């Protein structure tokens, strides 16, 4: 019997019991759709975070206070101590030993309640110098940025992000020249930054920038820095700059053992690698959970095929009595199983892509569907048809014609 004849005969058999066929396909649709949708969600999250990190600036190194763990030069995880000072930033900026760095941006960052005549918001406040806006690629939408004169004179001015404007001035009025209050100090808004995006604590638009000296001496009463951002001359010098700056600060802090450093240096790539590792694990976990539904769908198909074998026992016996070989019987039942999973796989892929698109629109997130995940889902659905269809097909092929014909 030709393969095409078996195929069309299998289609006819499956359409005779539409309810059973639909339920069998539904299990695969849900499984495949869930895998694609959840993998898409994980990949979109990873891409979104990576875009946010890259939007902070190019060739960026960040020095943070805190001890280093692990080897590999002066690199490690950031801590929470207060060991970086303005003098460290000035030394890095003026040193002739530092040859790989373009710009140095000393920064003090904290969260504080911001109050305006129309509202208030708990917002990130960053004490910055003019270099900050160059290092982090902050563009201006309206007004002016913080100048070195503002820093030197401890001027009470602020540059705000668009989310801050929305929260503090809900009437839509232009905030330039208006006053906001931070730590009971009045500051005049002089500029609004362009939108960069983000969400939650990573929202780059929900930030108030003030002169570094104003933040340290007038608002929060501190003398240390939260971090020092550095722009390397080019991407090829990132590792050299990381070590050059690290050993320079070790000498300044009179530390001879790099493993006992009281600071840490992170590059953009370090942050991206950490995030990628975390989100990949998260995506794999989500896909694993969704794969369980695929397993359940496969078992469902096997059960339905076993029921089909039982119902068609006399038919199988008659065909074998007329000379049908085991290979033909096995092939027909395998084809039926593969048709079920193949159809479910195609519908599941469409369902998963549509679901991912809807989720991205609802959450205003990226829409990412990896061709690899689609191909993998397609291959898995076909494999399920073969694996879970093989046992019922073998059982049908092994039936003895006489016993099958006598089956009631």
- pLDDT, residue 52, reads 65
Residues 188, 334: one domain?
no
Token output for 79: 């801590």
Specify the pLDDT at position 202: 64
Residue keyed to tokens 């982090």: 136
Do the beta carbons of residue 137 and residue 197 sit within 8 Å? no
Cβ atoms of 280 and 46 within 8 Å: the answer is yes
Residues 161, 295 within the same domain: no
Strands 157-160 and 185-193: parallel
Same-domain check for residues 282 and 338: yes
Residue 24 lies in a domain: yes
User: Are residues 89 and 226 located together in one domain of the fold?
Assistant: yes
Tokens 């990628």 found at = 276
- Domain membership of residue 150 (yes or no) is yes
Residue 266 has φ and ψ, to the nearest 5°, of: -120, 135
Q: Has residue 332 been placed in a domain?
A: yes
Q: Which of 184, 218, 252 is the last residue of a domain?
A: 252
Is 73 part of a structural domain of the chain? no
Residues 44 and 134 in one domain: no
Same domain, 229 and 104: yes
Q: Is there a single domain that holds both residue 222 and residue 329?
A: no
Range of the domain at 299: 3-52+274-406
Q: How far apart are CA 287 and CA 299, in angstroms?
A: 18
d(CA 291, CA 296): 9
Predicted confidence at residue 104, as pLDDT, reads 94
Is 0.85 surpassed by the pTM of this model?
A: no
Q: Residue 382 in contact with residue 61, Cβ under 8 Å?
A: no
Q: Tell me, yes or no, whether 119 and 241 share the same domain.
A: yes
Residue 63 placed within a domain = no
- pLDDT tens for each residue of the chain, 408 residues long: 566 766 776 677 667 777 777 877 887 788 788 778 877 877 777 777 666 665 555 588 889 887 644 444 444 444 446 789 999 999 999 988 889 898 999 999 999 999 998 888 999 999 999 999 988 888 899 999 999 999 999 999 999 999 999 999 988 889 999 999 999 999 999 999 998 866 555 678 899 999 999 999 999 999 999 999 998 888 788 888 888 999 999 999 998 888 888 888 887 666 666 666 776 777 677 667 766 766 777 777 777 777 776 666 666 666 667 666 777 777 777 787 788 888 888 888 888 888 888 888 887 777 777 787 778 777 777 777 777 777 777 776 676 666 655 554
Pair (102, 178) in one structural domain: yes
Provide the pLDDT for residue 74.
47
Is the CB of residue 113 less than 8 Å from the CB of residue 122? yes
* Residues β-bridged to residue 209: 126, 159
Q: Does one domain contain both 388 and 306?
A: yes
Q: Give the per-residue pLDDT at 275.
A: 65
Determine, yes or no, domain membership for 317: yes
Q: Has residue 172 been placed in a domain? A: yes
Is residue 254 within 8 A of residue 49, CB to CB? The reply is no
> Which residue bears the tokens 């869930």?
34
Q: CB-based contacts of 330: which residues, under 8 Å, 6+ apart?
A: 393, 394, 396, 397
174 and 99 within one domain: yes
Strand pairing class (60-65; 179-182): unpaired
List the helix and strand counts (H, then E) for the chain. 13, 10
Same domain, yes or no, for 118 and 237?
Answer: yes
Total number of domains in the chain: 2
Q: How far is CA 347 from CA 10, 344, 368, 378, in A?
A: 19, 5, 19, 10
- Output the CA–CA distances (angstroms, integers) from residue 41 to 32, 197, 286, 357, 369, in the order listed: 14, 18, 9, 10, 9
């Amino acid at each position: 019997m030709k393969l095409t004849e078996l195929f069309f005969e299998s289609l006819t058999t499956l359409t005779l019991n539409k309810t059973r066929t639909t339920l069998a396909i539904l299990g695969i649709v849900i499984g495949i759709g869930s895998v694609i949708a959840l993998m898409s969600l994980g990949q979109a999250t990873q891409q979104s975070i990576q875009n946010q990190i890259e939007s902070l600036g190019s060739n960026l190194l960040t020095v943070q206070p805190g001890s280093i763990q692990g080897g590999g030069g002066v690199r490690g995880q950031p801590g929470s101590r207060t060991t970086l000072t303005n003098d460290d930033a000035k030394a890095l900026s003026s040193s002739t030993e530092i040859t790989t760095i373009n710009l140095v941006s000393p920064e003090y960052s904290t969260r504080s309640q911001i109050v305006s005549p129309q509202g208030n918001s708990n917002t990130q406040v960053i004490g910055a110098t003019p270099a900050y806006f160059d290092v982090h690629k902050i563009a201006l939408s309206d007004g002016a940025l913080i100048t070195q004169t503002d820093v030197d004179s401890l001027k009470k001015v602020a540059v705000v992000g668009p989310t801050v404007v929305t929260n503090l001035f809900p009437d839509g009025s232009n905030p330039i020249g208006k006053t906001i209050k931070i730590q009971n100090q009045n500051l005049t808004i002089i500029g609004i930054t362009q939108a960069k995006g983000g969400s939650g604590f990573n929202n780059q638009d929900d930030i108030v920038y003030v002169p570094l000296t104003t933040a340290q001496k007038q608002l929060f009463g501190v003398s240390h820095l939260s971090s020092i951002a550095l722009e390397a001359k080019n991407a090829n010098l990132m590792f050299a700059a990381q070590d050059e700056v690290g050993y320079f600060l070790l000498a300044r802090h009179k530390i001879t053992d790099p493993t006992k450093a009281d600071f840490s240096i992170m590059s953009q790539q370090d942050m991206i690698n950490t995030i990628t590792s975390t989100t990949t694990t998260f995506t794999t976990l989500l896909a694993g959970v969704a794969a369980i539904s695929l397993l359940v769908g496969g078992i469902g198909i096997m059960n339905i095929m076993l029921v089909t074998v039982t119902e068609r026992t006399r038919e199988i016996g008659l065909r074998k009595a007329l000379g049908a070989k085991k290979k033909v019987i096995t092939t027909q039942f395998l084809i039926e199983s593969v048709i079920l999973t193949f159809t479910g796989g195609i519908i599941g892929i469409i369902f998963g892509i549509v679901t991912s698109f809807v989720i991205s629109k609802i959450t205003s997130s990226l829409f990412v569907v990896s061709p690899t995940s689609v191909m993998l889902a397609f291959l898995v659905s076909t494999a399920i048809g073969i694996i879970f269809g093989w046992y019922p097909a073998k059982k049908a092929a092994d039936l003895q014609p006489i016993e099958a014909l006598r089956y009631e």
